[in-house]
Amino acid sequence: MNKEQKNALLALKTARGQIEATINMVEEGRYCVDISNQIIAAQGLLKKANLLILRQHMNHCVKEAFEHDKGDEKINEIINILSKITGK
């Protein structure tokens, strides 16, 4: 596991903890704005993890694909992911 993957895993585990805490907050009937802030924090961690995974993909998988003249496939994968992120 490389550095990006380790950091992504840490962000995902932290997000999991925040999501569990958010579920408890809803079950306890806590203040809606506090719950919303907790959800935003979890979303931020998920975005961070995704960026780290994509960075790892670019630095390793995409780079290797270009070395073997198979870069077009990897470019299309990244474009598909970016379209999902941007909603376009």
Query: Which residue segments constitute the domains of the chain, with CATH numbers given?
Result: 3-86 (1.20.58.1000)
Of the pLDDT bands very low, low, confident and very high (cuts 50, 70, 90), residue 7 is: very high
Residue 88's pLDDT is 75
Region of residue 75 (phi > 0: left; psi between -120 and 50: alpha; otherwise: beta): alpha
Residue among 30, 62, 22 nearest 46 (CA): 22
Q: What is the pLDDT of residues 27-81, one digit of tens each?
A: 999 999 999 999 999 999 999 999 999 999 999 999 999 999 889 999 999 999 9
CA dist., res. 11 & res. 17, Å (int): 10
Q: Is-contact 8 56, C-beta < 8 A? A: yes
